[in-house]
Amino acid sequence: MSAGFSEMDATESKSQRRPFSIKLWPPSQNTRQMLVVRVTDNLTTKSIFTQKYGSLSKEEAEENAKKIEDVAFATANEHYEKEPDGDGSSAVQLYAKECSKLILEVLKRGPSSKDEKEVLVSEQVSVPHDTVFDISKGARSFIEAKEAGETLEPLKEPGNSYTKICFSNRSFGLEAARVAEPILASIKNQLKEVDLSDFIAGRSEAEAIEVMNIFSTALEGSILKSLNLSNNALGEKGVRAFGALLRSQSCLEELYLMNNGISEEAAEAVCELIPSTEKLRVLQFHNNMTGDKGALAISKVVKCSPLLEDFRCSSTRVGSEGGVALSEALDTCTHLKKLDLRDNMFGVEAGVALSKALSKYAGLTEVYLSYLNFEDEGAMAIARALKESAPSLEVLDMAGNDITAEAAPVVAACIAEKQHLTKLNLAENELKDEGIIQISKVLEEGHLQLKEVDMSINSIGRAGARVLARVVVQKPEFKFLNIDGNFISDEGIDEVKEMFEKFPDKLGSFDENDPEGGDDEEESGEGLGDEPELETELEKLEVNKEE
């Protein structure tokens, strides 16, 4: 057995390799069965809820328990599929939460009469299992010919209604692929969604390429709306192995190529092979080794995708040249709702170029622009553009961009207009007390949907911490404030904690706070944290109108 398919592209770095790893999601069949048992117990044994609403018979409880687990799993799995690069912890939490909610729902409705045969879980949350064929559940593992034949048997049933297949989390060998080939070919005309993410892990390069060729040929000519090839460390060879399938797709609405080792050559292959992206709504390239030259190729795809609503090109090693090219291409995507360009090396010039595109996004709701080296000039250009567009913006993330207090008035003026904001992340900048207070002041008015604020690592002292905490703690929907990694005095921390006394879980830790930090003036004991008059003046700061 080789070291893995990540050897396919010689240019791929070690960080791109995907050895077998432990995932929290999906749970094993044994874990799911254990949960059914626990749910059954909750529906039948004595508790404050069964005393209040009544308990169920064992037979009825078991029937409901299976339905509850099934629905909870489907809900959590759908959540996980939207964030496939995560470890699954949020899906696990949602799984448990849904189970608890449905248990209470069943208990409130009470035992069914003898004539009632329907399970009492809400029908509106049930999932049409006959349209989705998913073998990704359970432990991540290899699948060989015999198991493949048995597992894929339902796809051979005449008249089946499967429109989506998910083979993720199972590594297909050559013999297993040959078993799957005629089965897939027989149903390709009815398929609308294909998920082949993480399906050749641990295979040798030669075997993996042949497996992909087999799948590509079998599915060639299908009219897909969604195609997910993520987590396969494709490289250029892998992309071209899927050539037959990609060349036959002209109606794609969603394309996922995350964590694929997409280099410059691979990106050019993607651009070359896909005949049309006119209907594309979702395009995700997260965590690749694209670089500037690869970004030029991706920008061609973006430019030909006028209906794009969700674009993710985060952690792709794109610098200024590629950033400018992507920004100019995004100028045509006026329907964009979610934009994620985090963790690249855009710089000021690309930031200014991006601001021109942002000014056209009336429907933008989420924008993730952290760690892009925008500095004040780029950040202010972005803020000015967003101020005049995106009236329903919910998430604004501009962490790690070297934004100082000089840019704070412009950033604050933008935030003032975003009354639907739920999450604000400006961590790891240099806003200091002056900048934080100006931003806090604009948050005082409205912003009733605000839930999360992250201002960690911003050289904030006591004054900034107090003003920000006082503002956000009063928001009716607020969930979490992070101001760790700053220079807040011990007295300031005590004051903030007192404000959150009734909601301690809404305040992050202060483990990385340095009360002795800050500039020389603060360190000498004459800084903001210990000078009430100066602190009071800072708290009176208002946002100045731009000249």
Q: For residue range 328-342, what is the model confidence (pLDDT) as tens digits?
A: 999 999 999 999 999
| Residue 115 CA, distance from chain mean position | 46
Say whether pLDDT at 181 is over 80. yes
The closest of 518, 449, 509, 453 to 484, measured between CA atoms, is: 509
What pLDDT shows up at residue 113?
58
Q: What is the mean pLDDT of residues 473-497?
A: 97
Say whether pLDDT at 362 is over 90. yes
Q: What is the token pair recorded at 78?
A: 């759908």
- Give the fold, CATH level 3, of 403-515: 3.80.10
- Bridge partners, 507 (sequence order): 481
What pLDDT shows up at residue 80?
77
> Cα angle vertex 118, ends 112, 120, to 5°?
65
What pLDDT shows up at residue 460?
97
pLDDT band, very low/low/confident/very high, at 84 (cuts 50, 70, 90)? low
Same fold, 29-109 and 403-515: no
What pLDDT shows up at residue 16?
41
Q: How many Cα atoms are found within 13 Å in the side-chain-facing hemisphere of 330?
A: 31
**Regarding predicted confidence, which is higher, 541 or 501?**
501
Say whether pLDDT at 529 is over 50. no
What whole-number distance in Å separates Cα of residue 470 and Cα of residue 456? 16
What whole-number distance in Å separates Cα of residue 285 and Cα of residue 316? 8
pLDDT band, very low/low/confident/very high, at 527 (cuts 50, 70, 90)? very low
What pLDDT shows up at residue 371?
98
Cα dist from 22 to 14, 38, 89, 304, 417, whole Å:
19, 25, 12, 38, 43
What pLDDT shows up at residue 507?
97
Q: What is the dihedral of CA 518, 520, 524, 530, to 10 degrees?
A: -50
Q: What is the mean pLDDT of residues 525-534?
A: 42
pLDDT digits (tens, 9 = 90+) for 298-310: 999 999 999 999 9
pLDDT digits (tens, 9 = 90+) for 369-421: 999 999 999 999 999 999 999 999 999 999 999 999 999 999 999 999 999 99
**Regarding predicted confidence, which is higher, 323 or 122?**
323
Q: Classify the phi-psi angles of 169: left when phi > 0, otherwise alpha if psi is within -120 to 50, otherwise beta.
A: left
| Domain spans, the chain | 29-109, 403-515
Task: Look over the chain and give the mean of its residue pLDDT values, rounded to a whole number.
Answer: 87
Say whether pLDDT at 479 is over 50. yes
What pLDDT shows up at residue 514?
96
Among 117-131, 289-303, 333-347, 444-458, the minimum mean pLDDT is found in 117-131
What pLDDT shows up at residue 545?
44
Say whether pLDDT at 512 is over 70. yes
What length is written for the chain?
A: 547
Coarse DSSP helix, strand, coil percentages of the chain, rounded to the nearest 5 percent: 45, 10, 45
Say whether pLDDT at 177 is over 70. yes
Q: How many Cα atoms are found within 13 Å in the side-chain-facing hemisphere of 49?
A: 17
What pLDDT shows up at residue 128?
44
What pLDDT shows up at residue 547?
38
What pLDDT shows up at residue 75?
85
Superfamily of domain 29-109: WPP domain (1.10.246.200)
Among 48-62, 147-161, 267-281, the minimum mean pLDDT is found in 48-62
Q: How far apart are the first and last CA of the chain?
A: 66
Say whether pLDDT at 21 is over 70. no
pLDDT digits (tens, 9 = 90+) for 198-242: 999 999 999 999 999 999 999 999 999 999 999 998 899 999 999
Among 4-8, 34-38, 282-286, the minimum mean pLDDT is found in 4-8
Say whether pLDDT at 195 is over 80. yes
What is the residue-wise DSSP string for 25-90? -SPPHHHHHHHHHHHHHHHHS--HHHHHH----HHHHHHHHHHHHHHHHHHHHHHHHHSTTS-SHH
What pLDDT shows up at residue 3?
37
> Cα angle vertex 514, ends 510, 515, to 5°?
100
List, in sequence order, every beta strand (DSSP E) within 420-523. Answer: 423-425, 452-454, 480-482
pLDDT digits (tens, 9 = 90+) for 425-441: 999 999 999 999 999 99
For CA atoms 444, 446, 452, 456, the dihedral sign is negative
What pLDDT shows up at residue 517?
83
